[in-house]
Structure 1
Amino acid sequence: MTVTDFPNQPVPIIVYGKPGCQGCKMTVRHLDKQGTPHQYRDVTTDPAAHEIVQALGYKALPVVTAGDMHWSGYSPDRLNTLGRVHAFAPDLTSRDELAANYLGETA
């Protein structure tokens, strides 16, 4: 398998938040303003989203994830950097499963 076997798709950006969270609103507004595609998941209505935030160890919202990168809180500098690199960063998450399968076969 080669790098060309995988399409260059941007890493999904997910903002985990809840209603009334000012930092969540500011984060989504920031991403919208700079044109960075993202998903918003409400941890009060989406049990899976709530579990992800807990598994990452965060107690405060918003939580932003992009591939294996994540943080909590409104962070303009990180959001600006994310916006700049997002268009150039391929989504390699499918390789994790391939690597695990390969390692399982060779172990």
Structure 2
Amino acid sequence: MTKPQIVVYSKPRCVKCDWTYKALDAKGITYDVVNLAEDENALEYVKDLGYLEAPVVVVDDQDHWSGFRPDHIDRIASHLTH
């Protein structure tokens, strides 16, 4: 199983974004960060997914969510360790 390329779409001064980074780091999950304030295409992408709140975490086309969701982070961590 290949590791998914997780992307966290974020914005500056976002507490839920910071919590998400810390939770991903604590689980040893690697991810890329895209700043929605600087990337208009990324902002359109997350809006097209139906999200209006940062962070938006995208694991793949079928697996994504918005906000701080430790339950989802635990779920993907368990998949990555098996």
1:36 aligns with 2:29: yes
Larger Rg belongs to: 1
Task: Specify every segment of 5 or more residues in structure 1 that has no aligned partner in the other structure, as ranges.
Answer: 1-7, 89-107
> Offset of 1:23 from its aligned partner?
0.3
Amino acid of the structure 2 residue aligned with 1:30: A
Amino acid of the structure 2 residue aligned with 1:84: S
> Offset of 1:86 from its aligned partner?
2.6
SS of the equivalent of 1:57 reads coil
Mapping of residues 4-83 of structure 1, within 5 Å: 8-67=1-60, 68-83=62-77
SS of the equivalent of 1:36 reads coil
Amino acid of the structure 1 residue aligned with 2:70: P
> Offset of 1:48 from its aligned partner?
2.0
Task: Specify every segment of 5 or more residues in structure 2 that has no aligned partner in the other structure, as ranges.
Answer: none
More helix by share: 1
Q: Is the 8 A contact 1:10 1:87 kept in 2?
A: no
Structure 1 residue ranges (4+ consecutive) displaced by more than 6 angstroms after TM superposition: none
> How large is the Cα RMSD of the aligned pairs?
1.3
Amino acid of the structure 2 residue aligned with 1:72: S
1:84 aligns with 2:78: yes
> Offset of 1:25 from its aligned partner?
0.6
More strand by share: 2
Aligned-pair identity in percent equals: 33
Structure 1, residues 45-98: CA drift from partner, whole Å, max 9, x if none? 11221111111011111111111211111011110111111355xxxxxxxxxx
How many residues of Structure 1 are paired with residues of Structure 2 in the alignment?
Answer: 81
